């Protein structure tokens, strides 16, 4: 999966150069976007597809009004996504501009009202902006399809229309992960319509093809030896950035902060008197207050007082070398920090495995799902269920006994 994406990047870059593009900035931004997107796909165990790349764009897009430099950078990253997607499909034949288009929406007043109602429900449920935007895109695409089929009222929609939506040619060339993402979001939307009574007694959500159902994989976590090494601080890969990188590692490993929240952490977010950290999570926009554990606080203090560049910036984690700006992509630093572990001890080298290790450890200790989800900043307590896959002790309790149906074959006893 990783090798396929790396080859796609190489092929796309070769195409760009064939078009006579010699701008160092264009090449630099393309390589930067490809590297960041590759890390995102690896951390989320995803293959490259246009849909997955769009999710990454939604995460890296600045939340507030963009400055000119931010707009230039984001536009270059967006262009890289389109170039990669066209190269994968074999349609990258010339250099062109990819204009920003307004989101397509259905024309029916009823459909627009349903769209607004679903968006409001997602906001009430605390869903992240990226999740809401993707859901609106899937909902709109489905309802535009219905309008094209002459179904301009929700009461006219039948299960066969849901099946027909996924039978279109537009889904034929998409990778399974991309289709599954659409199926999962559409099933959630149809379930919302059933819950609100908008479709009467019809169970349209059951018409979503099961082959596209969301699948849960076994999560990867750090080995006990790697956990001990991180806690003891015996891993010191680079003397220049070791303290900064260890502070970020501990924030993810001990407090389960997301990468997006770590790089945005401000000096004012830490209450040293009361030993706590208070932030508004970037993904969910929900406030959270976490205890400032001694090892975490001491490492951050050591970095700020002794190793952080002396500049007027409220963001805690900065580039070590000039220009001393806030970090935008600490993936390389974290990968270098974790590179000392074997692949068995550390199957992945990113922030996600640190959060998963903490959540799994809490689950093994018998801490309730609601407490775990609150601690790691999840909205839905059921999101913790995925960590059961590595909780061997409790998983063994779920095994069905073979008493009464014993196998008589000796080689299987």
Delimit the domains of the chain by residue range.
2-89, 109-212, 224-396
Helix axes 331-338, 242-255, angle to 10 degrees: 90
The tokens describing 139, both together, are 């909902």
Among candidate residues 241, 185, 203, 222, the one with its CA nearest the CA of residue 346: 222
Beta strands, E only, 59-115: none
Whether the per-residue pLDDT at 391 is higher than 70: the answer is no
Instruction: Give the model's pLDDT for residue 237.
Output: 66
Per-residue model confidence as pLDDT tens digits over 155-168: 999 999 999 998 88
Q: How far is the CA of 225 from the CAs of 136, 235, 250, 387, in angstroms?
A: 44, 12, 16, 19
Interval 325-348 mean pLDDT: 81
Of 47-51, 95-99, 172-176, 240-244, minimum mean pLDDT range? 172-176
Q: Which CATH architecture has domain 224-396?
A: Orthogonal Bundle (1.10)
Instruction: Give the model's pLDDT for residue 394.
Output: 67
Q: Which long-range contacts (CB under 8 A, 24 or more apart) does 212-217 make?
A: 212/166, 212/176, 212/179, 212/180, 212/182, 212/183, 212/184, 213/180, 213/183, 213/184, 213/187, 214/180, 214/183, 214/184, 215/180, 216/386, 216/389, 217/45, 217/389
**What does pLDDT average to over the chain?**
84
Instruction: Give the model's pLDDT for residue 238.
Output: 64
Q: Which CATH architecture has domain 109-212?
A: Orthogonal Bundle (1.10)
Interval 348-377 mean pLDDT: 82
Q: Which residue has the higher pLDDT, 382 or 301?
A: 301
| pLDDT band at residue 195 using 50, 70 and 90 as cut-offs | very high
Per-residue model confidence as pLDDT tens digits over 302-326: 999 999 999 989 999 998 888 888 8
Interval 399-413 mean pLDDT: 62
């Amino acid at each position: 999966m990783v090798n396929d994406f790396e080859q796609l990047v190489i092929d796309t870059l070769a195409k760009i150069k064939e078009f006579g593009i010699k701008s160092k900035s264009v090449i630099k931004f393309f390589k930067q976007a490809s590297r960041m997107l590759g890390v995102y796909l690896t951390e989320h165990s995803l293959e490259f597809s246009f849909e997955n790349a769009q999710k990454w764009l939604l995460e890296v897009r600045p939340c507030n009004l963009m400055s000119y430099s931010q707009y230039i950078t984001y536009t270059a990253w967006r262009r890289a996504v389109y170039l990669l997607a066209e190269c994968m499909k074999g349609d990258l034949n010339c250099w062109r501009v990819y204009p920003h288009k307004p989101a397509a929406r259905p024309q029916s007043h009823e459909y627009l009202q349903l769209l607004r109602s679903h968006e409001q429900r997602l906001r009430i449920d605390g869903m992240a902006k990226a999740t809401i935007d993707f859901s609106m895109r899937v909902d709109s695409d489905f309802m535009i399809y219905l309008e094209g089929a002459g179904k301009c009222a929700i009461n006219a929609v039948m299960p066969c229309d849901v099946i027909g939506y996924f039978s279109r040619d537009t889904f034929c060339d998409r990778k399974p992960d991309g289709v599954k993402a659409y199926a999962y979001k559409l099933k959630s939307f149809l379930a919302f319509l059933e819950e609100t009574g908008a479709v009467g007694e019809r169970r349209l959500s059951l018409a979503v093809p099961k082959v596209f159902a969301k699948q849960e994989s076994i999560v990867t976590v750090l080995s006990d030896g790697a956990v001990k090494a991180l806690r003891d601080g015996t891993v010191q890969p680079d003397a220049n950035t070791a303290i900064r990188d260890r502070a970020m590692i501990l924030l993810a490993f001990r407090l389960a902060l997301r990468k997006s929240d770590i790089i945005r952490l401000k000096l004012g977010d830490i209450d040293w008197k009361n030993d706590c950290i208070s932030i508004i999570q970037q993904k969910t926009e929900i406030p959270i207050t976490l205890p400032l554990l001694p090892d975490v606080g001491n490492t951050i203090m050591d970095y700020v007082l002794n190793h952080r560049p002396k500049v007027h910036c409220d963001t805690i984690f900065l580039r070590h070398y000039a220009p001393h700006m806030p970090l935008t992509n600490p993936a390389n630093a974290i990968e270098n920090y974790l590179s000392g572990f074997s692949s068995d001890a550390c199957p992945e080298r990113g922030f996600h495995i640190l959060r998963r290790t903490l959540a799994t450890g809490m689950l093994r200790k018998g801490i309730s799902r609601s407490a775990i989800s609150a601690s790691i900043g999840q909205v839905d307590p059921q999101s913790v269920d995925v960590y059961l896959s590595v909780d061997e002790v409790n998983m063994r309790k779920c095994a069905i006994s073979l008493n009464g149906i014993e196998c008589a074959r000796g080689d299987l006893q």
